[in-house]
Structure 1
């Protein structure tokens, strides 16, 4: 019995010795977090920069406007401003995920009105030929790369089955109701991103 207790104590001590420090644990958790922030221009004193440095954040997500105030700039004003922003972020953390939602159509953080290339919505893209879609997605992927984006939360692979769906169907965010068509066009989207070294993220999952 004594031998068993001694063995258990030794095992417990070894387990405790292998536990990471608070600092290491914070950075391990930080690597799993993609965080938004409220600035279009940042410097070494910015809260997001300090968070990246302290917690080794896995990534950031960029938006053009505030959700509750569309007139107020959040992260994106123009190509020139965005390139400066993403370049600075990469100097802070070279492997940082710099992500965005750039689907095309109604969901474009990089809007033509800011000086960026327009991309068709999924519903409109599905009416184009494969070659036309491939060309348009290649241009979009190049634009993302040129502006320092390395992860895109797109394409949408939801099926357009419910006409009353105000989030997907009525915003033309789906390629349609046919599974094969959705797979074909979503694949073109992903391939275009991959060719430019950008990670594509299929959505939406419950």
Structure 2
């Protein structure tokens, strides 16, 4: 969680087992950090540059049947929460995919993210591109480096070991790091060698 009073970002390293927040909330909380750490007097979420995104998102939230969604409208309408959720969605759409953020599927059905309509997303992503110009490039660079490391590590394994590991992963008897990219790579190997269920 982020506390603006003392400008502290606390990280919860416990895994999300369905009952807690877990490490994957880091990008959301980092969005709060970026919101409050600006050279201006006001947080970025209250800036005139973000006002259009904020107003349109609040209008969408006010139009939903909150009882069906089991959400708190006042909380969802908070400018800092809209900014942090928007930043989290932006980072996911830019391709950030690791244990610091939810899986991309998490952003498809939750009312917290569906209130960012395609029009709002377009404006919001344009805002984040302008506000944090290096972020998109750095995410892409990180993805390329990670893919290269995975390819190099796979290339160093003999084919027999690749088949063995793919078989064990497919049977649920071998667990790699809890990193979605690595697990996806192993799943592709299992598919390649016809070891999937």
- Please state which band the TM-score falls in when normalised by the shorter chain: under 0.3
Decide which structure has greater strand share: 1
Q: TM-score if structure 1 supplies the norm length?
A: 0.27
Q: TM-score if structure 2 supplies the norm length?
A: 0.27
